[in-house]
Amino acid sequence: MTAVEKLLNKNLEGKFICVGLDTDISKIPIYLSSASNPILEFNQAIINSTKNAAAAYKINFAFYEKDGEKGLKNLSETIEIIPSNTLIIADAKRGDIGNTSSMYAKSVFDYFKCDAVTLNPFMGKDSLEPFLDYKEKLNFILTLTSNKGATDFEKLKLDDGRFLYQAIIEKIVEWNSNNNCGLVFGATNSSELKENVQSFGSLPVLLPGVGAQGGKLEDVIVAFESANKSNFLINISRGILYKSSDKDFAEKASEELVNLNKRVDSVLNETY
Amino acid sequence: MTAVEKLLNKNLEGKFICVGLDTDISKIPIYLSSASNPILEFNQAIINSTKNAAAAYKINFAFYEKDGEKGLKNLSETIEIIPSNTLIIADAKRGDIGNTSSMYAKSVFDYFKCDAVTLNPFMGKDSLEPFLDYKEKLNFILTLTSNKGATDFEKLKLDDGRFLYQAIIEKIVEWNSNNNCGLVFGATNSSELKENVQSFGSLPVLLPGVGAQGGKLEDVIVAFESANKSNFLINISRGILYKSSDKDFAEKASEELVNLNKRVDSVLNETY
């Protein structure tokens, strides 16, 4: 099954929430600190309780890299627990000159066997091509991000009247000859999302920024509904992982995920 | 010694060449393949033969990440061999939302104990701040890169007449309140370098792209000389590492580095 098929299957089942595994040792339940491997036990419990309702898992590489070798071992072991029919996104924001990007692509796709990756488009097409050459994978490329700093460069106006992020969206549509591109659009920018969603074409969309960062779930779904577009993922990390800081954390995470799915469903039904 | 001091000391000694450790198992001498750890043995030999002439070492993280845990072990062990008075640059091109960038900063500065890092500015100031908060470190931020794809976005013209990369340079100058910012400028763009070098102010500059990528060493130095600017590093990776594919590879690497230093010196002397 290709990465795009995995995503579409989940979307067809009405699952749109991606669980972000930004697992932070300082935020997981304190009682786990006596476990032999707190991070892995936490991830295991979260995945087991959410796997039937999750549309995808997004693994934030930074949270594992900070622990060096040990962190990468946790990363590999976490990936092994995720059911094979569920999309695994390496949230790594890579992008470099060609021969270096080839190595990064080998890392996320061959070594870690992720289905998808997040990429930074700054250096242009040839910096992403080694990833785009993996036809079965899915490459979510940054356009307009969810953070404040998006105004520094992404929202700069070009001399032809477009914003930089709009020029990027156009390029991604052009680069999609293998049907393995997607885009990342920060959910905090709901008005820009509404204005630009038509330009996404058939590209799948990953939307971080709902919850802790201030984006509203309902605003996002309304934007997609207005464009009659249904291949998207709303990422929630902290809002699911740390719903409870007690022994019931996995149960509460699952409850929250089910609740989020219901909220998506109710907006979809309202709109129809 | 801060990272900036390490760089300035080497520049004052007339050393401007940074050795890029993009160690690729398919390019190192074949006889090393029977070694218990070919990559580490190769790096060890290269560092031992070049350490007296190198201005800095740049470690391309991608080349190590592709081997997962084992790769990171090689990365750590390579870093341990480099003399403590020599700048170690983590070429990682990181940049993400704040809490994620904090984790990346922990990885390169706390776990791997690198002196400097390369960063991608696309997501704006708050995506780099966790790195800039490390006052003793040095943050080389991408501006105009050496690859073809630099024309896709970096060279787009803004509505105020500047190119995107020029807007980035101005921001980096502004973000340098801890005197720990530098910039990356691709040596393949020698005319843009000449036109913009005055705008770099006191920022140290890392220049990749000489050699395999087509940039000319002499063009770069002339540009810096014209601006009377002396805190820069010219990175050479493949041109030093793979000068010989035989048992004399480390000796030949050292000879090439010494030769490159002489070429820099001769341009500097011509100009004075």
Question: CA-nearest residue of chain A to B73?
Answer: A69
What percent of chain A stands above pLDDT 90? Answer: 90
- Average pLDDT of the residues in A191-201: 96
| Residue B129 contacts residue B140 (beta carbons within 8 Å) | no
Distance from CA of B99 to the nearest CA of A (A): 9
Digit-coded pLDDT (tens) for B134-157: 999 999 999 999 999 999 999 999
Tokens of A43: 């991830």
**What are A183's strand-pairing partners?**
A141, A205
Helices (H), chain A: 3-12, 38-50, 62-65, 68-81, 98-105, 125-132, 164-174, 190-196, 217-226, 238-241, 249-271
Closest CA to A265 of A8, A10, A11, A14: A14
| Domain boundaries of chain B, sorted by first residue | 3-271
| A30 at interface of B, judged by CB pairs closer than 8 A | no
* pLDDT of res. B262: 92
Pair B221, B215: CB distance under 8 Å: no
Task: For residue A271, name the pLDDT band (cuts at 50, 70, 90).
Answer: low
Catalytic residue, chosen from A93, A137, A243, A252, is: A93
pLDDT value at A247 more than 70? yes
Which CATH code of 3.30.450.40, 3.20.20.70, 3.40.50.1580, 3.40.50.300 fits the domain covering B3-271?
A: 3.20.20.70
User: Across residues A188-194, what is the average pLDDT?
Assistant: 95
Q: What is the pLDDT of residue A238?
A: 94
- Write phi, then psi, for A20 (nearest 5 degrees): -90, 115
Q: Which of B6, B58, B93, B252 is catalytic?
A: B93
| Distance of alpha carbon B253 from alpha carbon B258, whole angstroms | 9
Question: Which residues neighbour B256 within 8 Å (Cβ) at sequence distance 6 or greater?
Answer: B236, B239, B240, B243
**Tens digits of residue pLDDT in A24-52:** 999 999 999 899 999 999 999 999 999 99
Distances (CA, A) of A186 to A119, A145, A203, B215: 14, 4, 15, 37
A98/B93 Cβ within 8 A? no
CB contact under 8 A, A60 and B100: yes
Q: For residue range A51-66, list pLDDT tens digits in order.
A: 999 999 999 999 999 9
Residue of B93, B112, B122 lying closest to A153 (CB–CB): B122
Q: Are the C-beta atoms of residues A44 and A81 closer than 8 Å to each other?
A: yes
What sign does the dihedral B110-A61-B79-B11 (CA atoms) show?
negative
- Assess A154–B contact: CB distance below 8 Å, yes or no: yes
Q: Which residues of B touch A65 (CB under 8 A)?
A: 103-104, 107, 111
Chain B residue numbers touching A169 (CB-CB < 8 A): none
- pLDDT, residue A215, reads 85
Shortest CA gap A114–chain B (Å)? 13
pLDDT of residue A251: 98
Q: Is A125 a catalytic residue?
A: no
Q: Is A60 on the interface with B (CB under 8 A)?
A: yes
Within 70-129 of B, beta carbons closer than 8 Å to A belong to 72-73, 76, 91, 93-101, 103-104, 106-107, 110-112, 120-128
Q: Would an 8 Å CB–CB cutoff place A152 in contact with chain B?
A: yes
CA distance B101 to A64: 12
Average pLDDT, chain A: 95
With a cut of 50, which residues of chain B have pLDDT below it?
272
